[in-house]
Amino acid sequence: MCAARIFSIAMIPLLLSCVDARASSFEAATEQVKAQLIASVDAVHPGAEILLGVQQRIIPHWHTYWKNPGDSGLGTRIAYDLPAGATAGEIQWPTPERITTGPVTNYGYSNQVTLLSKLKVPDGVAIGSVFSVKAKVNWLVCKEECIPQEVDLALDLPVVLPGADSGRGSPLIEAARAGLPVASPWRISRTQSDNGLTLRIQGLGQQSGFIGNVWFYPDEWGWVAHSADQPRHISGDTIELQLKPGDAPLSPEAHLTGILAVTEETGGGSVTRGYSVDVAGSDKAPAKTTASEPVPASALLLALIGGVVLNLMPCVFPVLSIKALALIKHARQDARQTRLHGAVYTLGILLSFLVLGVILIALKTGGAEIGWGFQFQSPLFVLAVAYLMFAVGLSLSGVFTMGGSIAGVGSALAERPGYAGSFFTGVLATVVATPCTAPFMGAALGFALSQPPPVLLSVFLSLGLGLALPYLLLSNWPSLQRRLPKPGIWMDRLKQAMAFPMYAAAVWLVWVLAQQSGINAIVVALGGMVAIAFAAWLYEITKYSGKTTQRTGLGFSALSLIAALFGGYFGVETSASAVAEPTPEIADRHWEAYSSARLKQLRAEGKPVFVNFTAAWCISCLVNEKVALSQEAVIDAFKQGGITYLKGDWTNRDPEITRILAEFGRSGVPLYLYYPPGVSTRPVILPQILTPEIVTQAVAASLGPA
Amino acid sequence: MLINRFSQFVLASLVFVVAVAKVYAEPVVNQPAPLFSAATADGTTLNLADLRGKTVILEWTNHECPFVKKHYESGNIQSLQKQAAEQGIVWLQVISSAPGKQGHVDAETAKKLNAERGATPANTVFDPEGSIGKLYAATNTPQLFIINPEGILLYKGGIDSIPSADKADIAKAENYISVALKELAAGKSITKASTKPYGCTVKYAG
């Protein structure tokens, strides 16, 4: 009988012959860890590529370590001693877990782990000989205290003729492969500044909302502070992970590699899958900005110029020209009062920009990924601004006027006695300016958004100052005022002409809305505009009538306005969910849509069936389809076995599928069922994480060698 | 004037944001090392600020940790301590093991252990609450910090370059501390000022 060198546990009759008494076994155990050397085959062919594995079974509360052990600890090491000409590859590390002890965070494994390595058998091994693999395995196992341990393991594999059965090997190998990280299906990029490292995962589709946990495990110590939180910001189909640099921060040019572990809550419990990450660095050094450095003057100057240019934007110009017209009208006013109006107007703009900046910072720290015009990611906001533009346009066209004034909304505000009017003109100018900035100022504001809050705020305030500047100059320079043209009928004409840019802006916004919420949103938006126009017209014609008519008119226009707003709100909401329906993939499909009738029919015929219950928002489902179910090997296996592949889409919580999920004790997807051939066979439930081998083996097991 | 007040407000909020962003949690090389005062093995209270004017080495330790044993049983740390003492450097062992946890010792035991091992630190600092350890973000035993006479942190990290519990690796490894001591003696700055520590997790309370 052979004994393992350390604490022999194996009184198992060995398949392998014992050459001498000191030879190691394929198994060895310490007080905390039971280790065994396993292979993907029972025998090897010359030239074969096989997988070797070392499995560690660890007693509860203890753990061994990943290649990057985190703040302390030591990764497991395997030194293979192989026959001449054979080579073993690097360890293929499964996705680790986080082990936190007070302020210290480690990356490792508890309960059990299998460390796989590829092995190439040399072509020249003699048939009938024994290919013997020896492994010296060295690990640190810790609970509170840590114990370094080392075992020697050995496994003898007979060399058989090419073509001869090499056996199934250990089932643990396949289980281990399911725990390996897979290639990421998403676009992953990084941004790096002195303030930290941001990992951006894009292209999650609708799945981002269903993610339970995300953690990035860096391959090397020091790139990331291991015990620091990794706050994540989800917006749309993008997740941003905020990583705090560790004691050996990554240079901006270097590759960032590691594993992104994503945990998803599914009906059958939570599923964690690792995705390998390799993000190239940037070629150029990052913009060097820290909170303590002064804001680059050029950025401020650019923002100021940008602000001045904003005055010419189709959305802003009408509002401002009205303001300027008012100035012309009051040209004979007291100069001091005019100046004060200019100052208050500037204050209105600056405060609005400050509020915008603060909201941006709050959103940035709170989560969402944002850009300038971030508000426009909300279809409701887009609709509201489109309505506003349209209403201002109507007012400029003279369809209605606010109060007793003959001018429009902007003018009403501008002409409001006192400084409140000037202040709100500033606010209005900022509100209408935002949609126009998106296309023109994107780059400059993109810079500001990537900056720390003080820089961001200063850039915003410069932009606001630029917007306010022309009017501010005008109000402070009587000589400039004198050069303005004399008031006259042209003012009214100009005002009316200005309505058209407003209508054009509304059209553009409706187009944006259509892209966000689908074609139906156009009907909602345009219908709402008709209602608004009606409200405006009704308001205007009844305004100068008797009290009762005036009230009735006002009531009906209010009703019409409410209809527009509510109709818009609910219309856009429903059409947004309508557009979210997944578009079915027709091309090259090797599956049929699931229905219980179809399943029953196939079962009655005794045909084998593979059923996949999936949903567009389920990450594991889509990854399994990508890495396993759409692989050639699986499609071939289905074809050869005459297996019908049914796919049930649970994206919209189909009650028929809900019932069958419940039958199998599940409350959600994924669920994979394989019904072997035969009328009354029991279905096999496959695991929630698939590899091509898991599927093909499940299928092969039932079909049998017959 | 309203505008003036407004700009004052903006300025004040900017200053506030910058000030908040300046606060760091962990010790940073080339920045002042955190100050502490604590009980020691010789019964006195040691105040780090009192050691201004001298170079100080802090060595986090736990005599039961296999990685600490590796460097004491091989005599590696003892010879570093001697080398440091010859250069007039104050070598302080720091024990952050909480009561009841591995490596927690009283003053008598600490002295006895050092006598048995032939270790000659200037003193042993007790940190049973783990507050000094957390101040320095110490995660491992052994883990070392070097502070210059002006109180600036010059080095933080491990003892050498091969993370293992095997004494045979010591000769093959680059001994970061020995190199740093030589560089200090030559009046040079430390080339590798932040390295990866390896070893057992510091046995903090909780």
pTM, whole model, 2 decimals? 0.58
Q: Using the beta-carbon criterion (under 8 Å), do B3 and A346 form an inter-chain contact?
A: yes
At residue A436 the predicted structure's pLDDT band, cuts being 50, 70 and 90, is: low
For an interface test with A, give the residue of B200, B202, B203, B204 to mutate (most A CBs within 10 A): B200
Give the confidence band of A582 by pLDDT, cuts at 50, 70, 90.
Answer: very low
Instruction: Identify the band that residue A407 occupies on the pLDDT scale cut at 50, 70 and 90.
Output: very low
Q: Are A654 and A641 in contact (CB under 8 A)?
A: no
Q: Phi and psi for A264 in degrees, rounded to 5?
A: -125, 135
**pLDDT digits 0-9 by tens, A646-655:** 999 877 667 7
| Beta strands per DSSP E along A350-473 | none
A85: amino acid identity, one letter: G
How does DSSP assign A206-270, residue by residue?
A: GGGGGEEEEEEEESSTTSB-TTS---EEEETTEEEEEE-B-SSPPPTTSPEEEEEEEEEEETTEE
Residue numbers in B near A247 (CB within 8 A): 156-157, 194, 196
Distance CA A424, CA A44 (A): 83
Nearest Cβ partner of A347 from B6, B200, B206? B6
Chain A residue numbers touching B131 (CB-CB < 8 A): none
A44 close to B173: Cβ distance less than 8 angstroms:
no
Q: Which of B14, B134, B137 sits opposite A454 (nearest CB)?
A: B14
- % of chain A with per-residue pLDDT over 90: 22
From the list A72, A144, A347, the residue facing B199 with the nearest CB is A72
What is the average pLDDT across A509-514?
79
Q: What integer pLDDT is reported at residue A10 of this predicted model?
A: 38
Residue A90 Cα, gap to closest chain B Cα (Å): 18
Is A534's pLDDT higher than 50?
yes
- Is B162 part of any domain? yes
The verdict on A103 touching B (C-beta cutoff 8 Å) is yes
Is the four-CA dihedral A202, A206, A207, A209 of positive or negative sign?
positive
Would you call B66 and A247 a contact, using CB atoms and an 8 Å cutoff?
A: no
Cα-Cα-Cα-Cα dihedral sign, residues B4, B10, B13, B15:
negative
Check CB contact of A228 with chain B, cutoff 8 Å.
no
Whether residue A440 contacts residue A274, with contact meaning beta carbons closer than 8 Å, is answered with no
Minimal CA separation from B18 to chain A, in Å: 6
Distance between CA atoms of residues A371 and B121, nearest Å:
57
Element counts in chain B: helices (H) and strands (E) = 7, 9
Residue matched to tokens 């045909």: A607
Task: Band the pLDDT of A333: cuts 50, 70, 90.
Answer: low
The closest of A232, A87, A249, A55 to A151, measured between CA atoms, is A55
Most confident of A348-352, B18-22, B133-137: B133-137
Measure in Å the smallest separation between the Cα of B201 and chain A Cα atoms: 6
What pLDDT does residue B58 have?
A: 97
CA A159 to chain centre: 49
Domains in chain B, number: 1
Instruction: For residue B162, give the chain A residue with the closest CA.
Output: A74
Q: Could you say which of A102, A346, A454 has the minimum Cβ distance to residue B17?
A: A454
Contacts of A347 (CB under 8 A, 6+ apart): A423, A426, B2, B3, B6
Does any domain span residue B93?
yes
Task: Tally C-beta pairs within 8 A across A and B.
Answer: 97
Q: Is the distance from CB of A634 to CB of A628 less than 8 angstroms?
A: yes
CA distances from A154 to A28, A54, A142, A342 (A): 10, 11, 25, 87
B102 and A347 within 8 Å at the Cβ level: the answer is no
The structure tokens listed for A203 are 């292209």
Q: How far is Cα B10 from Cα B16, in angstroms, rounded to an integer?
A: 10
Whole-number pLDDT of residue A8: 38
Buried b (16+ CB within 10 A) or exposed e, A267-295: bbeebbbbbbbebeeeeeeeeebebeeeb
Q: What is the pLDDT of residue A211?
A: 75
Evaluate if residue B121 carries a pLDDT over 80. Answer: yes
pLDDT of residue A2: 40
Say if domain A27-172 classifies as CATH 3.40.50.1010: no
Closest-CA distance, B203 to chain A, in angstroms, reads 7
- Residue B162, classified by CB atoms within 10 Å of its CB into exposed (0-12), middle (13-18) or buried (19+), is middle
Residue A487 is predicted with a pLDDT of 63
What confidence category does residue A461 fall into, taking pLDDT thresholds of 50, 70 and 90? confident
Contact across the interface for B3 and A347, Cβ inside 8 Å: yes
CA A612 to CA A429: how far, in whole Å? 55
| C-beta of residue A159 within 8 angstroms of C-beta of residue A80 | no
Instruction: List all residues of chain B from 102 to 161 with a beta carbon under 8 Å from chain A.
Output: 102, 130, 133-134, 137, 139-140, 156-157
Let me know if residue B17 belongs to a domain: no
- Flag if B165 and A140 touch (Cβ within 8 Å): yes
Q: Three-class SS string for A187-211?
A: EEEEEEECCEEEEEEECCHHHHHHE
What backbone torsions phi and psi does residue A34 show, to the nearest 5 degrees?
Answer: -110, 120
Name the band, by pLDDT with cuts 50, 70 and 90, for residue A16: very low
Q: Give domain status of residue B13, yes or no.
A: no
Nearest CA in chain B to A361: B17
B91 interfacial to chain A (CB closer than 8 Å): no
Which chain A residues contact residue B133 at CB under 8 A? 103
Ranges A30-34, A381-385, A557-561, B174-178: which has the least confidence: A381-385
- Counting residues of chain B whose pLDDT is more than 90, the rounded percentage is 82
Which residue would you say has higher pLDDT here, B92 or A5?
A: B92
Of B135, B139, B130, nearest to B197 by C-alpha is B139
- Which residues in chain B are contacts of A146 at CB distance < 8 A? 65-67, 199-201
Q: Which one has a higher pLDDT value, A589 or B127?
A: B127
Contact check, Cβ <8 Å, B194/A346: no
Q: How far apart are CA B206 and CA B201, in angstroms?
A: 13
Which range marks the domain in which residue B35 is found?
27-201
DSSP A13: P
Residues composing chain B? 206
The whole-angstrom separation of Cα B176 and Cα B162 is 11
Quick check: A148 and B66 CB within 8 A? Answer: yes
By CB neighbour count within 10 A (0-12 exposed, 13-18 middle, 19+ buried), where does A544 fall?
Answer: exposed
Q: Is B47 exposed, middle or buried (0-12, 13-18, 19+ CB in 10 A)?
A: exposed
Write down the pLDDT at residue A5.
39
- Interface contact flag, A101 B17, Cβ < 8 Å: no
**Dist. CA A631–CA A637, nearest whole Å:** 10
Instruction: Give Cβ neighbours of residue A290 (< 8 Å, ≥ 6 apart).
Output: A194, A195, A452
Domain borders along chain A are: 27-172, 182-279, 297-377+405-497, 592-703
Give the strand pairing for B200-201 and B140-141. antiparallel
What CATH architecture does domain A182-279 belong to? Sandwich (2.60)
| Residues of chain B found within 8 Å of residue A457, distances taken between Cβ atoms | 10, 13-14
Q: Say if CB A193 and CB A286 are below 8 A apart.
A: yes
Residues on chain B touching A69 (C-beta within 8 angstroms): 198
**B9–chain A nearest CA distance, Å:** 11
- The band of A205, judged by pLDDT with boundaries at 50, 70 and 90, is low
**CATH code where residue B154 lies:** 3.40.30.10
Burial-class residue A456 by CB neighbours within 10 Å (0-12, 13-18, 19+): buried
Q: Is residue A58 pLDDT above 50, yes or no?
A: yes
Selected residue of A104, A149, A459, A472 to mutate for chain B interface (largest B Cβ count, 10 A): A104
Using a 10 angstrom Cβ sphere, with 0-12 exposed, 13-18 middle and 19 or more buried, the burial of residue B11 is: exposed
Q: Which of A102-111, A634-643, B13-22, B186-195 bottoms out in mean pLDDT, i.e. has the lowest?
A: B13-22
Q: What is the mean pLDDT of residues A216-231?
A: 89
Among A72, A104, A146, beta carbon nearest to B66: A146
B60 touches chain A (CB under 8 A): no
Tell me how far the alpha carbon of residue A93 is from its chain's centroid: 25
pLDDT tops 50 at residue A403: no
* A243-267 pLDDT tens trace: 988 888 888 888 899 999 988 877 6
- Cα–Cα distance for residue pair B67/A148, rounded to 1 Å: 9
CATH superfamily of the A592-703 domain: Glutaredoxin (3.40.30.10)
Alpha-carbon gap, residue A285 to A288, rounded angstroms: 8
Is B9 at the interface with chain A, CB within 8 A?
Answer: no
pLDDT band of A291, cuts 50, 70, 90: very low
- pLDDT per position as a tens digit, A157-167: 999 988 888 88
CB contact (8 A) between residue B10 and residue A347 = no
Q: Would you call A294 an interface residue with chain B, using a CB distance cutoff of 8 Å? A: no
Confidence of residue A286 (pLDDT cuts 50, 70, 90): very low
Q: Confidence band (pLDDT; 50, 70, 90) for A489?
A: confident
Average pLDDT, integer, range A685-701: 86
Mean pLDDT over the full length of chain B = 87
Q: Do A71 and B163 touch (CB under 8 A)?
A: no
For residue A363, the model assigns a pLDDT of 65
Of A289-298, A528-537, B69-78, minimum mean pLDDT range: A289-298
pLDDT reported for residue A378: 65
Of the listed ranges A207-211, A213-217, A340-344, A524-528, the least confidently predicted one is A207-211
Q: What is the mean pLDDT of residues B46-61?
A: 95
In which element (H, E) is residue A148 found?
strand A146-158
- Average predicted confidence (pLDDT) for chain A: 78
CA gap B7, B2 in Å, rounded: 9
Which two structure tokens, joined as six digits, stand for A69? 């052990």
Q: Which residue of B has its CA nearest to A454?
A: B14
Q: Find chain A residues with C-beta within 8 A of B128's C-beta.
A: none
pLDDT at residue A292, rounded to an integer = 38
- At A580 the pLDDT is 42
- Angstrom distance (rounded) from CA B72 to CA B67: 9
pLDDT confidence of A315, banded at 50, 70, 90? low
Q: B13 and A72: CB-CB below 8 Å?
A: no
For residue A331, what pLDDT is reported?
Answer: 56
Q: Is the dihedral of CA A356, A360, A366, A367 positive or negative?
A: positive
Residue B2 lies in a domain: no
Question: DSSP characters for A337-357?
Answer: HHHHHHHHHHHHHHHHHHHHH
A634 token code pair: 């699986």
A-chain residue closest to B197, CA distance: A72
The predicted complex's ipTM stands at: 0.77
Q: Which of A7-11, A553-557, B20-24, B86-90 has the highest mean pLDDT?
A: B86-90
Q: Which residues contact A493 (CB under 8 A, 6 or more apart)?
A: none
Cα-Cα-Cα-Cα dihedral sign, residues A378, A379, A384, A387: positive
Interchain pair B201, A248: CB under 8 A? no
Q: How far apart are CA A75 and CA A86, in angstroms?
A: 24
Segment B48-56 mean pLDDT: 94
The percent of chain A in helix, strand and coil, each rounded to the nearest 5, is 40, 25, 35
> Do B196 and A346 make contact, defined as CB atoms within 8 angstroms?
no
Q: At what angle do helices A453-476 and A335-366 cross, to 10 degrees?
A: 160
Confidence of residue A395 (pLDDT cuts 50, 70, 90): confident
Distance separating alpha carbons of residues B142 and B170, to the nearest angstrom: 14
Amino acid at B173: A
Identify whether B1 is part of a domain. no
pLDDT at A468 over 70: yes
* Average pLDDT for A674-686: 88
At A137, phi and psi to the nearest 5? -115, 130
pLDDT band per the 50, 70, 90 thresholds, residue A406? very low
A27-172 and A592-703 share one fold: no
Cβ–Cβ below 8 Å for B156 and A291? no
pLDDT bucket at A413, cuts 50 / 70 / 90? very low
- Decide if A76 touches B, using CB distance below 8 A: no
Q: What is the pLDDT of residue A100?
A: 87
Q: Is B23 on the interface with A (CB under 8 A)?
A: no
A248 contacts B196? CB cut-off 8 A: yes
Among chain A residues, the shortest Cα distance to B204 is held by: A102
